[in-house]
Structure 1
Amino acid sequence: MFMITPRLFLRPLWPEDAESLATRMGRREVLWNLGTPPCPYGIEDARAKVAGDWADWPLKVSLAIFMRTPSGPEHVGGVGFSAAPTAKGGIELGYWIAKDWWGQGIAVEAALPVLEHAFLAWRLPRLCAGHYEDNPASGRVLEKLGFVPTGEVILYDSVPRQRKERSVEYELSRERWEDLRGFRCRPGVSEAA
């Protein structure tokens, strides 16, 4: 699966991406906001992730994010969705962005076509997501995507932090997503309007 946005190119990780994955996702500042990767995160961890993503396909959608630059594609993150750990339930959207690329709107831009795939191709009824309380920037990304807080804050395992952390929970229903994206007609509104 390949996706293109105005600035980005998304595709599955390939074995030759392991080095850039280890370098970019392996930074403590990035790992600290994620739930499952080990810390430190090295080349063997990256190779295991690439192999695991391919082994779990199509039950898991995991795409690398590449910025299209004049000198060629630059690996800047990852995005996808899969079954959430038992504590959260449902299908969870996840993403990470390399530290050098924070604050540029990449997570939102990359997640938009992934949400479209989740709701139109997979026909998922809803997606869940969360962020650690000390990472409010991730909450802003979720809100820009249309996710709404559920009001729940749960303890969520953080492998990099080696402890449970408080996670603010969000969800996005297919109906809400369709309304936000203009895919559904509202009652009483004609299609010609």
Structure 2
Amino acid sequence: MFIRSERLFLRPAWPEDWAELHALIDNEAVVRNLSRAPWPYGPDDAKRFVAAPQGGNHPQFFVTLPGAHGARLIGCVGLIEDAGGPELGYWIAQGYWGRGFATEAVRSVLSLARPLGHRQINARHFADNPASARVLEKAGFRPTGEIRLGHSAARPQPAPTVHHVIDLAAPMDCDGPEDGGFEPMRRAA
């Protein structure tokens, strides 16, 4: 699967991406906010990640920034299968923080989530990462009030995480009562 947004191109990982991935994520400031990434993040970790199979309705994407000389990898975003339902995960390389790329990538994945059959998506961020809280809020997530300890390989001990959720709109049934306003047109015909 591929997704094109206003500024970004989201695509699957390719085996040759491992070196670029490693160069971007081998950064403690990035990994300390991730619950599933190893630390230190080595070349073999990057090779395993790009070789991992895609989940059918839990896709993972490399976030790339197209430019005149090709597309640069700037992060990752995807849906992860979790016991509590699908969970959103994402990261953006430190050199690209503060430009709205994470929000744009998250919104792009959410636009695909409902067609994949998801009705609710969960997300967590470490409580000391307010930038991630803003990304989730701008994408339409709301905090549930649940706080629990989370683990990151780049943190010396567990730290509080804040749970967020987004309920995706129910599908519109063109033949039902919520038909998008077409019923008056049918009566006029």
- How high is the TM-score relative to the length of structure 2? 0.87
After the TM superposition, which residues 1-193 of structure 1 pair with which residues of structure 2 at under 5 Å, given as runs? 1-52=1-52, 54=53, 56-58=54-56, 60-84=58-82, 86=83, 89-120=84-115, 122-175=116-169, 191=181
What is the CA–CA distance in structure 2 between the aligned matches of 1:129 and 1:49, rounded to whole Å? 21
The code of the aligned residue for 2:80 comes to: S
Q: Work out which of the two has the higher radius of gyration on C-alpha atoms and give 1 or 2.
A: 2
Cα deviation code 1:100-132 (max 9, x no counterpart) = 000010011111121111112x12120000110
Mapped to 2, the partners of 1:142 and 1:57 lie a distance apart of 23
Cα-Cα RMSD: 2.4
SS in 2 for 1:110: helix
- Give the distance between the partners of 1:125 and 1:159, measured in 2 at CA: 31
Distance 1:164 1:48 in 2: 25
Normalized per residue, the structure richer in helix is 1
Q: Normalising by the residue count of structure 1, what TM-score does the alignment of the two structures yield?
A: 0.85
More divergent stretch after superposition (17-26 vs 111-120):
111-120
Matched letter for residue 169 of structure 1: H
Moved more, 37-46 or 135-144: 37-46
Matched positions, count: 181
One-letter identity of the residue aligned with 1:63? F
Note the residue ranges of structure 1 that are not aligned, 5 or more in a row.
none
SS at structure 1 position matched to 2:114: helix
